[in-house]
Structure 1
Amino acid sequence: MRHVELKVSTASQGGHAVVSVYGEVDLYTAPRLQAELASLVRDGAGRVVVDLSGVEFCDSTGMNVLLSAMKRLREHGGTLELAAPRPAVRRILQVTGLDTVFSVHDALPALEGT
């Protein structure tokens, strides 16, 4: 089985954070994403946008990480949104019905309050 590395980077601006994810999110790589999202929750981020444009694959483990982060952010009055999912990831969101649970943007929204 090939092992694809997951890269996660965060850019924060005010109470907003953009988490850019590259690679495949699965059972082996999801803890990396989970740790990044958990630290944003701890730091009190108000709005977190997860940029999925670099994600080729996301399994149920990855979806659960995103869901639990969204729930924790909501408990603290924050939001978690998904941006620019590739067709394969968008299909998973639609099949699981999660496209109605998450706010999903076709492109990365501007962070500034416009």
Structure 2
Amino acid sequence: MELKVSTRSHAGNAIIAVAGEIDLYTAPRLQAEFARLLADDPERVVIDMSDVEFCDSTGMNVLLSALKRLRERGGALEVAAPRPAVRKILQVTGLDSVFTVHDSIPAEFAEPAG
């Protein structure tokens, strides 16, 4: 399955919308997007996981790596709107206490109407 990744940035913040499955084969696509985004030195990054159907340990490692790199710069990585299967992985691994997890996209990152 293909992984779709798109990024919007605004005022030092960014949101990465991900759709599909994050696994051994698709994780490099997400990792490349994080690398590109980190070059812009954002303060806060929210990853919209509302359209992620599956995320394995490889995908979680990509998120952890990005979190570490952002924290080294004083930034933050937050997870938004994970589906039940992804939320369960976060809970089972204890990563729900490592990441800030939002039930929905924070209002300041919502797609503008119009």
Q: Distance in 2 between matches of 1:41 and 1:74?
A: 11
Aligned residues between the structures: 109
- Residues 16 and 111, structure 1, Cα contact 8 Å, conserved in 2: no
Match of 1:102 among 79, 90, 99: 99
Q: By how many angstroms is 1:45 displaced?
A: 0.7
Match of 1:59 among 51, 56, 59: 56
Give me the identity figure in percent.
72
Q: Distance in 1 between matches of 2:38 and 2:73?
A: 8
Extract unaligned runs of 5+ from structure 1: none
TM-score normalized with structure 1 length: 0.93
Aligned partner letter, 2:27: A
Q: Deviations over 1:40-74 (max 9, x none)?
A: 11110110000000000000000000000000001
Q: Distance in 1 between matches of 2:9 and 2:108?
A: 9
- Residues 56 and 86, structure 1, Cα contact 8 Å, conserved in 2: yes
Counterpart of 2:30 in structure 1 is 33
Please list every run of at least 4 consecutive aligned residues from structure 1 whose deviation after the TM superposition is greater than 4 angstroms.
none
- Residues 83 and 105, structure 1, Cα contact 8 Å, conserved in 2: yes
Q: CA RMSD in A?
A: 0.9
